Amino acid sequence: MTKGNNSNWFDDYAEEADDIQIEEYDITASPNDFNVLTIFNFLESGAVRIPGFQRNYVWDLGRASRLIESLILGLPVPQIFLYELERNRFLVIDGQQRLMSVYYFIKQRFPKKEKRAELRAIFDENGKIPDSVVHDDIYFDNFRLKLAEVVVSHPNRFKGLSYATLGPKQASFFSLQDNQLGNFARTQLPHSSRLAG
């Protein structure tokens, strides 16, 4: 198409390239209703990895607290998608912010904003964040729920709580099978396909 020819300005440039081939992939998604504690244990054991194309953890304490509050109350949260490399070895495709918020809440530590890139490198190197780093105040603050009060005269009953200070009823949501962190979908792609890094 030449610059002076206005009659074909809407032509699709892809028509000019007949050698473009689009590959089709069979993608299978199967729901796996892992409970929150199981997912935490997957992260803790190194079974769940965060691939390079994922951004660093960016949520603030308020947003992470609202997710935890939703889980405690039994409200639905969005699905998390994991790519299964092999049996019990996963890459996070979608949901890293939610996964790490739960992980940090159970660990009772919240990452400092200025240390998150460094924490990501540590996670990538070790497959998890070692306890010595988690308990280092250079990297983390204590994780206490930061929730707004809906009504001034009625404080939010979860505000200021940590995983250790939840009552037995609230803490039980982490281990009960019917309290999942969304519906986990295990995505299976053919071995010939590779995720961009």
DSSP 35: B
**Displacement of CA 39 from its chain's centroid (Å):** 11
The Cα–Cα gap between 112 and 171 comes to: 25
User: Tens place of pLDDT for every residue, the chain, 197 residues?
Assistant: 444 555 544 444 445 555 666 566 556 666 777 778 888 888 999 999 999 889 999 999 999 999 999 888 888 888 888 888 888 888 898 999 999 999 999 999 999 999 999 999 999 999 899 999 999 999 999 999 999 877 777 778 888 888 888 877 666 665 544 444 544 444 444 443 333 33
pTM attached to this predicted model: 0.74
Tokens of 131: 């306890």
Q: Which of 111, 108, 86, 74 is nearest to 96 (CA)?
A: 111
The Cα–Cα gap between 128 and 109 comes to: 14
Find the length of the chain.
197
Q: Where are the domains of the chain?
A: 26-188
